[in-house]
Amino acid sequence: MKSNPVGFQGEIGSYSEEAVRKYFQGKASTISYKTLHDLFQSLENNEIEQALIPIENSLEGSVTEAYDLLLKSTVKVNGETILRIVHSLIGHPGVGKQDIRTVYSHPQALAQCRRYLRILGVETIATYDTAGSVKMLKGTKARDSAAIASRVAAETYGMDVIEEGIEDEENNYTRFFLLSRREAEPTGEDKTSIIFSASHVPGSLYRALEEFANRGINLTKIESRPTKQKPWEYFFFLDFEGHKDDRNCKEVLETISKRTDFLKIIGSYPRVKEKV
C-alpha cells in the first residue's frame, strides 16, 4: 500500500517525479505542483506530508528559488537523492531534427544543452517545466517545434524522442532535497544544512568557519546568496557532514551562533551514499 502522496514541482513525467520514484523505490504516490512556491505552501499547510525539490545541478549550480524558499520556510530537510539527467529532443511523431525551428524547456535544461542548441541553430523559449513543455507541445500541431525533457516525458505524452543524450556534458546530475515538517533522526551517516549571515566586517566569515576546521568537520558545500535587505550583504548556505545532535556538531553550532548575526538549521538528514 502506498503512503500519502509526495509533492513535486512540475508535470507528470518530470525529472522531479522521477527523483521521487528513485528515492522511494517506486513505493510512493505523487502529486504535482506548478511552482515551488505552491509546493512549499501545501507542505506548510499540512496538505501533504513530504515533498522533493531540486536544490542544485552539477553543471548549472544551485536552484536559487529553492534556497530562498528554504530561508523563509519552517519545513525541514529530511533526506537527499541524486539523479543522473539525460536530456532528449522531443517532437511530434515523424518529425526530424532538420524540421525543428523552436525548442521549449525549463531554463536549466536549455542551459545544460546550450552547445547542442547553438549548433542546431534554433530559437529557444523558456517554460516552467521540462515535462510541461512536452505536454504543451502535445497540445499543438507545431511540427517545427520541439521540447527538451526526459524519455519518460516523451513516453508519458505519446511523443517521439528525436535525439537522446543531448546535454553538453555527461557529468550532469541534479541533487534533490526531501522536505517534511518533522526532523530526521540520526543515522550515523548524516549531513546537516544551515543558513547564516555574518557581520560585514573583515574576518567575520573566517571566524564562523574556523570551528569546523578546528573540530575536523568536513564541509561539503558553501554558497552565498544576497540578503535582499542591503546591497552586498549575503546569506551563506552551508552543508557539512554529521547530524546537528552529534556532540561535535552541536558544539560547533552553539559556537558559531554566537559569531553570526543569523543562524538557521534547515535540517539534518541521511546523506546519499551513491557515487557519481
- Which residues participate in catalysis according to the annotation? 174, 176
Query: Interior CA angle at 55 toward 176 and 248, to 5°?
Result: 85
Is residue 80 within 8 A of residue 269, CB to CB? The reply is yes
Gap between the Cα atoms of 40 and 7, Å rounded? 9
Is residue 237 within 8 A of residue 67, CB to CB? The reply is yes
- Grid cell locating 128: 516552467
- Grid cell locating 168: 553538453
Gap between the Cα atoms of 90 and 140, Å rounded? 13
Gap between the Cα atoms of 64 and 237, Å rounded? 11
Distances in whole angstroms, Cα of residue 221 to Cα of each of 10, 11, 18, 142, 165: 26, 29, 24, 43, 28
Cβ contacts of residue 87 below 8 Å, gap of 6+? Answer: 109, 112, 113, 130, 148, 149, 150, 164, 165, 166, 167, 172
**DSSP character string of 12-78:** TT-HHHHHHHHHTTT-EEEEEESSHHHHHHHHHTTS-SEEEEEEEETTTEE-HHHHHHHHH---EEE
Gap between the Cα atoms of 135 and 204, Å rounded? 49
